[in-house]
RNA sequence: UCCCCCUUAGCUCAGUUGGUUAGAGCGGCUGACUGUUAAUCAGUAGGUCCUUGGUUCGAGCCCAAGAGGGGGAGCCA
């Protein structure tokens, strides 16, 4: 007879093969009454109840079935006489695979603060909240690729180490193999990067956009989905120094079509989560409701998590030009009554997050896409509009998160692009290849960047971005 | 980087006007119970009150500096 393999708890609970002999393995969540093990193996948020025959099991083994311990159990699947579950395992043998000293194991069968769990990131995945978040995160990675696959986009791996510092998306992390104490110097006393590994200055990427555009102007519809690094000293619940970004780039596409793609994409992800992660979402909804109980009425969200996701899926996003937004904000109550910290006086100012929140959360009460921003507050590669004042840029704003997507139609006219590069004093030597794209067979492409963790935050209802990535990297924190 | 708040048992937190020996719930341990659902019941151990300096007869509590954490702002995704 061949060796019997284990069955995953998710499969077991789905099939409920009553009468069958099975092996299950996982980690003990609780051990009640000297016989009821709540076992979890991460395949689902639901625990399996393993009933130990305490009268015929070695006392030494019983004592080692503690919260956090890893066990293997063999037994028969039976209908449960108890109320909390439909089936359970009547175990004939229990083997301890890994003990967890109860005096030292930090996770208890009770609610812990997210701040405490952040300090034990290597163990927090063993909690319901984090296992749910990571399962949903996985499902969203899959859904991203599925969406683009169905639309005929090609996935392009853009470089992590980059020699161009031109995108201007933020401060960069330097990549070097030079001795930090005694670096080789040039005759004029500066660090001689000719001696460095790449024989030039290199950094971790802040965006794959410029590189993915090269593929776009040959393969038409492409996207990159990879890690992104920003050395900004940002200390907020919405920023990471290392995060994952999805950047589609579409040839022969204008801003209007791009906004359509962004909305369709975000709704697809939300729908995928609703249809495939129901158990985990139900748990996270309960968690969020519990958390909000401790908040004042005013700060509580009017909808539950699932209701909110359905709302986003079913309602059209508002599309609003920057100019229209300024008008609405200028005439708004908080502006008239001088409640805004930054008052809207006229056209041209960048919108602060209080303004974005007002539009999304108070005025329209749904996701908003703002477009046609003043060119002076946007990047060099964005396409200039006919008015001479604005560029074809757009941001998708979400409740509670703020900017979740930023994108634009790209400037495909060589002269315009070069003029803009000169105007902003961007070193042309770093951008020669990007400029050449506009010399040889240029085409109007459009693209955007979606912050993956911000999307996960929204779908999971998590308030802090550090709780939707396994090992968050933030200023002063690179533990694990 | 700026503003505000927090730091007391393993965890979550209370601690009065500055006053003798610093508390609770959960968790741990010991035992009871044995179809429980974050089991229950009884008992019990567990403290650098973040650190340093100061004020005071006396500091968990007041003052200063520092460290760590959180919320908000800016930067952005």
Asked whether the beta carbons of A230 and A171 are under 8 A apart, the reply is: yes
pLDDT in tens, A234-273: 999 999 999 999 999 999 999 999 999 999 999 999 999 9
Through-space separation of residue A132 CA and nucleotide B8 C1' in angstroms: 33
From CA A133, how far away is CA A129, in angstroms rounded?
Answer: 6
Domains, chain A: 9-109 (2.40.50.140), 126-171+206-467 (3.30.930.10)
pTM of the model: 0.95
How distant is the alpha carbon of residue A197 from its chain centre? 32
From CA A160, how far away is CA A171, in angstroms rounded?
Answer: 15
> CB < 7 Å to strand B — which of 99-138 in chain A?
102-103, 106, 108-113, 115-116, 118
pLDDT in tens, A178-209: 998 899 999 999 999 999 999 999 999 999 99
Which bases of strand B sit closer than 7 A to a protein CB? 1-2, 10-13, 26-29, 33-39, 68-77
Given the DSSP bridges, would you call strands A242-250 and A221-229 parallel, antiparallel or unpaired?
antiparallel
Of A215, A40, A57, nearest to A130 by C-alpha is A40
> CB < 7 Å to strand B — which of 342-361 in chain A?
342, 350, 352-354, 357
pLDDT in tens, A333-374: 999 999 999 999 889 989 999 999 999 999 999 999 999 999
- Residue A451's nearest nucleotide, by CA–C1', is B77
Asked if the Cβ of residue A454 lies within 7 A of any atom of strand B, the reply is: yes
Through-space separation of residue A296 CA and nucleotide B61 C1' in angstroms: 28
Mean pLDDT, residues A218-233 = 96
- Residue A401's nearest nucleotide, by CA–C1', is B77
Q: What is the ipTM of this complex?
A: 0.92
pLDDT in tens, A58-100: 999 999 999 999 999 999 999 999 988 999 999 999 999 999 9
Within 13 Å of residue A430, how many CA atoms lie on the same side as its CB? 17
SS3 sequence, chain A? CCCCCCCCHHHHHHHCCCCCEEEEEEEEEEEECCCEEEEECCCCCCCEEEEECHHHCCHHHHHHCCCCCEEEEEEEEEECCCCCCCEEEEEEEEEEEECCCCCCCCCCCCCCCHHHHHHCCCCHHHCHHHHHHHHHHHHHHHHHHHHHHHCCCEECCCCCEECCCCCCCCCCCEECCCCCCCCCECCCCCECHHHCCCCCCEEECCCCHHHHHHHHHHHCEEEEEEEEECCCCCCCCCCCCEEEEEEEEECCCCHHHHHHHHHHHHHHHHHHHHHHCHHHHHHHHHHHHHHHHCCCHHHCCCCCHHHHHHHHHHCCCEEEEHHHHHHHHHHCHHHHCCCCCCCCCCCCCCCCHHHHHHHHHHHCCCCEEEEEEEHHHCCCCECECCCCCEEEEEEEEECCCEEEEEEEEECCCHHHHHHHHHHCCCCHHHCHHHHHHCCCCCCCCEEEEEEHHHHHHHHHCCCCHHHCCCCCCECCECCC
State yes or no: pLDDT of A168 exceeds 90: no
Which residue, chain included where needed, has tokens 């961007």?
A426
Asked whether the beta carbons of A377 and A383 are under 8 A apart, the reply is: no
> CB < 7 Å to strand B — which of 389-428 in chain A?
402-406
From CA A27, how far away is CA A354, in angstroms rounded?
Answer: 45
Mean pLDDT, residues A124-145 = 97
Grade residue A2 by pLDDT with cuts at 50, 70 and 90.
low
From CA A322, how far away is CA A373, in angstroms rounded?
Answer: 5
From CA A454, how far away is CA A69, in angstroms rounded?
Answer: 34
**Closest residue (Cα, C1') to B46:** A103
Asked whether the beta carbons of A261 and A153 are under 8 A apart, the reply is: no
């Amino acid at each position: 007879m061949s060796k019997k393999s284990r069955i995953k708890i998710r499969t077991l609970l789905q099939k409920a093969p009553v009468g069958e002999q099975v092996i299950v393995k996982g980690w003990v969540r609780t051990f009640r009454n000297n016989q009821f093990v709540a076992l979890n193996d991460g395949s689902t948020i639901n625990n399996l109840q393993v009933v130990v025959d305490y009268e015929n099991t070695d006392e030494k083994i019983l004592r080692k079935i503690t919260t956090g311990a890893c066990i293997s159990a063999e037994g028969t699947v039976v209908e449960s006489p108890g109320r909390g579950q439909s089936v359970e395992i009547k175990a004939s043998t229990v083997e301890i695979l890994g003990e967890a000293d109860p005096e030292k194991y930090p996770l208890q069968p009770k609610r812990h603060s997210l701040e405490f769990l952040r300090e034990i990131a290597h163990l927090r995945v063993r909690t319901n909240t984090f296992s749910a978040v990571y399962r949903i995160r996985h499902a969203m990675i899959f859904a991203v690729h599925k969406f683009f696959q169905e639309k005929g986009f090609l996935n392009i791996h853009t470089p992590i180490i980059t020699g161009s510092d031109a995108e201007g998306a933020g401060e960069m992390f330097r990549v070097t193999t030079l001795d930090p104490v005694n670096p080789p110097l040039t005759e004029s006393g500066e660090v001689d990067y000719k001696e460095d590994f790449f024989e030039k200055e290199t950094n971790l990427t802040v965006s794959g956009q410029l590189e993915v555009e090269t593929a776009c102007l040959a393969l038409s519809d492409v996207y990159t989905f990879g890690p992104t690094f920003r050395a900004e000293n940002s200390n907020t619940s919405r920023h990471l120094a290392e995060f994952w970004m999805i950047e589609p780039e579409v040839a022969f596409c204008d801003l209007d079509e791009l906004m359509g793609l962004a909305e369709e994409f975000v709704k697809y992800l939300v729908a995928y989560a609703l249809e495939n992660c129901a158990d985990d979402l139900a748990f996270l909804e309960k968690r969020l409701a519990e958390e909000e109980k401790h908040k004042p009425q005013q700060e509580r969200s009017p909808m539950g998590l699932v209701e909110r996701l359905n709302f986003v899926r079913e309602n059209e996003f508002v599309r609003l030009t920057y100019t229209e937004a300024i008008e609405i904000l200028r005439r708004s109550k908080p502006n008239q009554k001088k409640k805004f910290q930054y008052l809207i006086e006229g056209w041209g100012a960048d919108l602060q997050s209080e303004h974005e929140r007002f539009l999304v959360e108070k005025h329209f009460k749904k996701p908003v896409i703002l477009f046609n921003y003043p060119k002076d507050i946007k990047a060099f590669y964005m396409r200039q509009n006919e008015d001479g004042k604005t560029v074809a840029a757009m941001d998708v704003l979400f409740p509670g998160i703020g900017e979740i997507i930023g994108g634009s139609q790209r400037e495909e006219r060589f002269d315009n692009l070069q003029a803009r590069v000169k105007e902003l004093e961007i070193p042309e030597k770093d951008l020669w290849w990007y400029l050449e794209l506009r010399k040889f067979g240029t085409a109007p492409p459009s693209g955007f960047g979606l912050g993956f963790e911000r999307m996960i935050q929204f779908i999971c209802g998590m308030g802090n971005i550090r709780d939707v990535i396994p090992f968050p990297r933030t200023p002063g924190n690179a533990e694990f």
